[in-house]
């Protein structure tokens, strides 16, 4: 008779069942229970990992909890810039929801680091797919949003690359550039002569000069001439 012993299947160590996507909610208390109830109804796909009434409170929570996705209600009382602080602080994926129709609000959330933005009018199934999507490391944004953000980022980079004086010159009108060019050609000519040369009245010239000084951040004609000499190619 064999002395071998058989191990009962029930005595073998069972592999732990995978946990669902751990979701934390940032919203006002009155809405928190609705999100919580829905998340719990999706088990085991999602796991409710608590809620915070503000982004500041959520940041403190992320110091003690491992989270997968943070669902942030943009219609709360959080100050502007708070969402960017959260995305910089946590490794969890941030997904935003809002009832706002303005594209600027949604675009700002993506630029702040959110991986996606949903409208509260979207279906529950839509929200579930979005959570699963950002959890996989993907973005939940449509083509129109992507295009707007790309254009905004490109514009911002272009402006940053422009010399401060060039930005000032870009604010000048065609007529204002004509006046500066006239001063550049004849720096000693008085206002009456400049006005006659470009066929405007002295009062009109005076108004243009006030605008030119304001736009170029200078205070007198001597400074204007020095500026024009420095950027002569712009007024030739």
What does the DSSP assignment read for the chain?
-----PPPGGGSPPPPPPP-EEEEEES-HHHHHHHHHHHHHTTTSEEEEEEESSHHHHHHHHTT---SEEEEETTSSPPTTHHHHHHHH-SSEEEEEE----HHHHHHHHHTT-SEEEETTS-HHHHHHHHHHHHTT--B--HHHHHHHHHHHHHHHHHHHS-HHHHHHHT--HHHHHHHHHHHH-TT--HHHHHHHTT--HHHHHHHHHHHHHHHT--SHHHHHHHHHHTGGG--
Whole-number Å distance between alpha carbons of 62 and 58: 6
Specify the domain boundaries for CATH 1.10.10.10 within the chain. Answer: 164-234
**CA-CA distance, 202 to 155, in Å (whole number)?**
38
What per-residue confidence (pLDDT) applies to 207?
A: 93
Backbone φ and ψ of 213, nearest 5°:
-60, -45
Q: What is the pLDDT of residue 63?
A: 82
CATH 1.10.10.10 corresponds to the domain 164-234? yes
Alpha-carbon span 167 to 144, nearest angstrom: 29
- Residues 99, 54 contacting (CB under 8 angstroms): no
Q: Are 225 and 183 in contact (CB under 8 A)?
A: yes
Starting from the edge strand earliest in sequence, which strands make up the sheet with 93-98, in order?
A: 46-52, 21-26, 69-73, 93-98, 116-119
Ranges in the chain annotated CATH 3.40.50.2300: 18-156
Alpha carbons 42 and 90: distance in angstroms, whole number: 24
Burial of 232 (0-12, 13-18, 19+ CB in 10 A): exposed
Tell me the pLDDT of the chain (236 aa) as tens digits: 444 433 444 444 454 554 799 999 999 988 899 999 999 999 999 999 999 999 999 998 888 888 999 999 999 888 878 999 999 999 999 999 999 888 888 888 998 999 999 999 999 999 999 999 999 999 998 888 888 877 777 676 666 666 788 888 889 999 999 999 999 998 888 999 999 999 999 999 999 999 999 999 999 999 999 999 999 988 87
Strands 46-52 and 21-26 come out as parallel
What is the model's pTM?
A: 0.59
Count Cα neighbours of 56 within 13 Å in the Cβ-side half-sphere. Answer: 6
Which CATH number describes the domain made up of 18-156?
3.40.50.2300
What pLDDT, on the 0 to 100 scale, is given for residue 160?
A: 60
Confidence at residue 151, expressed as pLDDT on a 0 to 100 scale: 77
- Longest alpha-carbon distance in the chain: 125
Q: Token pair of 221, please?
A: 């004609």
């Amino acid at each position: 008779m064999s002395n071998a012993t058989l191990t009962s299947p029930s005595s073998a160590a069972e592999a732990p069942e995978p946990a669902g996507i751990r979701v934390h909610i940032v919203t006002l208390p009155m809405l928190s229970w609705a999100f919580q109830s829905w998340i719990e109804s999706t088990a085991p796909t999602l796991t409710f990992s608590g809620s915070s009434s503000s982004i500041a409170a959520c940041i403190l929570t992320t110091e003690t909890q491992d989270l997968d996705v943070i669902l942030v209600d943009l219609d709360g009382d959080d100050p502007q810039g708070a969402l960017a602080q959260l995305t910089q602080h946590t490794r969890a994926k941030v997904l935003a929801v809002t009832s706002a129709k303005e594209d600027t609000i949604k675009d700002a959330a993506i630029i702040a680091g959110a991986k996606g933005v949903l409208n509260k009018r979207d279906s529950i199934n839509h929200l579930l797919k979005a959570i699963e999507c950002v959890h996989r490391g993907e973005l939940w944004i449509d083509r129109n949003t992507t295009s707007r953000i790309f254009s905004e980022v490109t514009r911002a980079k272009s402006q940053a690359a422009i010399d401060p004086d060039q930005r000032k010159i870009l604010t000048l009108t065609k007529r204002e550039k004509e006046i500066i060019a006239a001063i550049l050609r004849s720096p000693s000519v008085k206002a009456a002569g400049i006005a006659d040369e470009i066929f405007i009245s002295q009062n009109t010239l005076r108004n243009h000069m006030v605008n030119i000084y304001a736009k170029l951040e200078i205070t007198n004609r001597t400074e204007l001439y020095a500026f024009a000499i420095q950027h002569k190619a712009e007024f030739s």
